[in-house]
C-alpha cells in the first residue's frame, strides 16, 4: 500500500508543485475536473430524489405491514441525507471556485508582482 501511495505522489508531485509543467496543463486539469463534477452532480442528485420517492411510495403502499414501512422510512432517510450532502457539496464547490477566482472555466487568475518604475 505504501508503494502505491508513494508512486501516486511521485507522479503527481510536479503537477502539484507546478514544476516542469505549463500553467495551461494545470488549467486543463482543473477544467476537466470541473466539467466532470458539473456533469455528475445532476445525475447523483436525481438518484437521491429517486431513492426518496421510492421510500415514500414504499411507505404509502405498505400501510398494514410494519416491516415494509420501516424499510420505506430508511429509504426516505437515506434519500434526504443524499440530497443534503449533494447540495452542500455543490454549494461548497461554488464557494471555493468563486473565492479562488476560478469562475471562468479552464482559467486560473495568476497573481502578478507589481513592478515599480
Q: Mind giving me the DSSP string for 84-116?
A: HHHHHHHHHHHHHHHHTT--STT----------
pLDDT tens digits, residue range 31-45? 777 778 778 878 888
In a domain, 30, yes or no: yes
Place of cell 421510500: 55
Q: How far is CA 8 from CA 3, 94, 100, in A?
A: 9, 28, 26
In a domain, 117, yes or no: no
- Overall number of domains in the chain: 1
In a domain, 4, yes or no: no
In a domain, 112, yes or no: no
In a domain, 1, yes or no: no
pLDDT tens digits, residue range 10-61? 666 655 555 544 556 666 777 777 778 778 878 888 888 898 999 999 988 9
Amino acid at each position: 500500500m505504501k508503494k502505491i501511495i508513494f508512486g501516486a505522489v511521485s507522479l503527481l508531485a510536479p503537477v502539484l508543485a507546478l514544476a516542469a509543467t505549463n500553467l495551461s496543463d494545470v488549467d486543463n486539469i482543473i477544467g476537466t475536473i470541473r466539467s466532470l463534477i458539473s456533469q455528475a452532480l445532476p445525475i447523483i442528485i436525481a438518484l437521491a430524489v429517486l431513492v426518496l420517492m421510492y421510500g415514500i411510495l414504499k411507505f404509502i403502499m405498505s400501510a398494514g405491514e410494519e416491516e415494509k414501512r420501516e424499510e420505506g422510512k430508511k429509504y426516505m432517510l437515506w434519500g434526504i441525507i443524499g440530497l443534503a450532502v449533494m447540495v452542500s457539496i455543490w454549494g461548497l464547490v461554488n464557494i471555493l471556485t468563486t473565492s479562488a477566482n476560478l469562475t471562468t472555466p479552464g482559467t486560473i487568475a495568476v497573481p502578478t508582482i507589481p513592478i515599480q518604475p
